[in-house]
């Protein structure tokens, strides 16, 4: 697609429910990142996918968080048993790579705002 | 580990004036990229300007320019002729060349006063 697409734009859920957030990267971008941004704060790295390599999950805050990506296509971030502290904007970004390494800047989606009541 | 610091949580500038946002970083590497991203209230982060560390010449993009001081590990953003649409959060970011991790600073909120 023309840009990084994320859905839903806004999600309100009750504490304890599971949520899925979706990211569709720019076509041809093999690298895909998920970040979390709490209100008025900076970006917290969550997870990184590069082609078919094993993802870098070092930023996931707990085992309630997981993400999947099939090949170089759509990625889904799943949060199980949501807590109020999970409320944030979840940003997805993609980037070109060459030989498995980043060659450019990040292109971001508009984010998914999650509110846990 | 690399870190990026933005010491100004908030800044304001009068419309048509010039403002400089500060960024410092810590790295032992010599080959890397630096970026400034803008995040308006609409939330979507967009790239403002990038700088390759091996280039001595400061990058410019229209009204936006940087002052890159490699030895001092400083990468400030100058916005000339500020416009109301420049109001946003600005994030400084670092990436090692051929590295996967982008390290972001905490951001500076810029207000533009009419």
List of chain A residues whose C-beta atoms are within 8 Å of the C-beta of residue B104: 42-43
In this structure, whether the domain defined by B3-113 belongs to CATH 2.60.120.370 is answered with no
CB contact under 8 A, B104 and A43: yes
User: Could you give all domains of chain A from N- to C-terminal order, each with its CATH number?
Assistant: 13-110 (2.60.40.10)
List of chain A residues whose C-beta atoms are within 8 Å of the C-beta of residue B50: 105
List of chain B residues whose C-beta atoms are within 8 Å of the C-beta of residue A42: 91, 104-107
B33-62 per-position pLDDT tens digit: 999 999 998 778 999 999 999 888 999 999
pLDDT over 80 at A1, yes or no: no
Contact predicate A90/A112, CB 8 Å: yes
Nearest partner of A112 among A93, A92, A90, judged by Cα: A90
Segment B23-31 mean pLDDT: 92
A33-77 per-position pLDDT tens digit: 999 998 877 899 999 998 888 899 999 999 999 999 987 889 999
- In the stretch 2-41 of chain B, residues with CB closer than 8 A to chain A read 33, 35, 37
DSSP string over chain B: --EEE---SEEEEETTS-EEE--EEE-S-SSEEEEEEEE-TT---EEEEEEETT--SPPEETTEEEEEETTTTEEEEEE-S--GGG-EEEEEEEEETT---EEE---EEEEEE-
The nearest alpha carbon in chain B to A32 belongs to: B100
């Amino acid at each position: 697609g023309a840009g990084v697409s994320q859905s839903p734009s806004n999600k309100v859920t009750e504490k304890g429910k599971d949520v899925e957030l979706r990211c569709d990267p720019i076509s041809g971008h093999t690298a895909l990142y998920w970040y979390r941004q709490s209100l008025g704060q900076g970006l917290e790295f969550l997870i990184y996918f590069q082609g078919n390599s094993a993802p870098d999950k070092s930023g996931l805050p707990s085992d309630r968080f997981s993400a999947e990506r099939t090949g170089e296509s759509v990625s889904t971030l799943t949060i199980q048993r949501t807590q109020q502290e999970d409320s944030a904007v979840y940003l997805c970004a993609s980037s070109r790579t060459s030989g498995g390494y980043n060659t450019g800047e990040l292109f971001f989606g508009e984010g998914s705002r999650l509110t846990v009541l | 580990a690399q870190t990026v610091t933005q010491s100004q949580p908030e800044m304001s500038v009068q419309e048509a004036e010039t403002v400089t946002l500060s960024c410092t970083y810590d790295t032992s590497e010599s080959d890397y990229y630096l970026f400034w991203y803008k995040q308006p209230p609409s939330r979507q982060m967009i790239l403002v300007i990038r700088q390759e560390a091996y280039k001595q010449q400061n990058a410019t993009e229209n009204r936006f320019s940087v002052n890159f001081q490699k030895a001092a590990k400083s990468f400030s953003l100058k916005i000339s002729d500020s416009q109301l649409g420049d109001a946003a959060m600005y994030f400084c970011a670092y990436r090692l060349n051929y590295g996967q991790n982008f390290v972001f600073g905490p951001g500076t909120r810029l207000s533009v006063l009419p």
